[in-house]
């Protein structure tokens, strides 16, 4: 009998995070440098929420200059109390909730501290691996 996978087995551990008071431009730069679309937001090492590249784009407008990005902080764009789950949460619960609520990411915590992040990209990777295992099994040893 297979054990139902937990989110900890498929999350991206130790994600990049940003302080709530950081300039919004710093968040954008961090996302671009590391090719990520979501950053956990912290204050005094406590998880406060999440900011996405979409949140930043909506705040800055189509020209990325109105309002001035040098005057804005992560606090102006982040989502307070984003979807957070414990390391031991079953994967099925997380992906179902993300799909129902149209969420791009789930914050994974251990004792209310950020431990990882699970994104739609991670979900696609998990699905691709499952389909590959299910429908393209390795050739049997001779």
Q: What is the mean pLDDT of each run of 10 residues along the chain (142 residues)?
A: 86 94 94 95 92 90 63 92 94 96 95 92 93 83 52
Q: Residue 60, exposed/middle/buried by CB under 10 A (0-12, 13-18, 19+)?
A: buried
User: Nearest-CA neighbor of 122 among 41, 32, 13, 34?
Assistant: 13
Residues 6+ apart with CB under 8 A from 81: 48, 49
The model's pTM is 0.85
The pLDDT score that the predictor gives to residue 140 is 74
Q: How many residues does the chain have?
A: 142
CA nearest neighbour of 23 among 63, 75, 81, 80: 75
Report yes or no on 1 lying in a domain.
no
Provide the CB-side half-sphere exposure for 46 (13 A, CA).
Answer: 5
pLDDT score of 62:
66
Residue 48 belongs to domain spanning: 7-135
Q: What is the CATH number of the domain that holds 50?
A: 3.10.580.10
Task: Give Cα separations from 104 to 31, 83, 115, 127 (angstroms).
Answer: 15, 10, 17, 15
Say what the pLDDT of residue 58 is.
87
Say what the pLDDT of residue 16 is: 93
Q: Report yes or no on 140 lying in a domain.
A: no
Q: Supply the pLDDT for residue 66.
A: 61
In the chain, how many domains are there?
1
């Amino acid at each position: 009998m297979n054990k139902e996978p937990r989110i900890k087995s498929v999350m991206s551990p130790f994600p990049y995070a940003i302080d709530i008071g950081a300039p919004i431009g710093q968040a954008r730069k961090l996302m671009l440098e590391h090719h990520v679309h979501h950053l956990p937001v912290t204050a005094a090492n406590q998880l406060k929420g999440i900011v996405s590249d979409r949140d930043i784009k909506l705040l800055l407008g189509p020209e990325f200059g109105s309002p001035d990005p040098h005057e804005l902080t992560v606090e102006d764009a982040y989502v307070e109390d984003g979807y957070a789950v414990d390391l031991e949460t079953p994967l099925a619960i997380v992906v179902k909730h993300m799909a129902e609520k149209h969420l791009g990411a789930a914050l994974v915590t251990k004792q209310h501290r950020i431990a990882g992040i699970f994104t739609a990209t991670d979900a696609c990777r998990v699905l691709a691996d499952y389909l590959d295992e299910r429908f393209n099994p390795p050739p049997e040893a001779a």
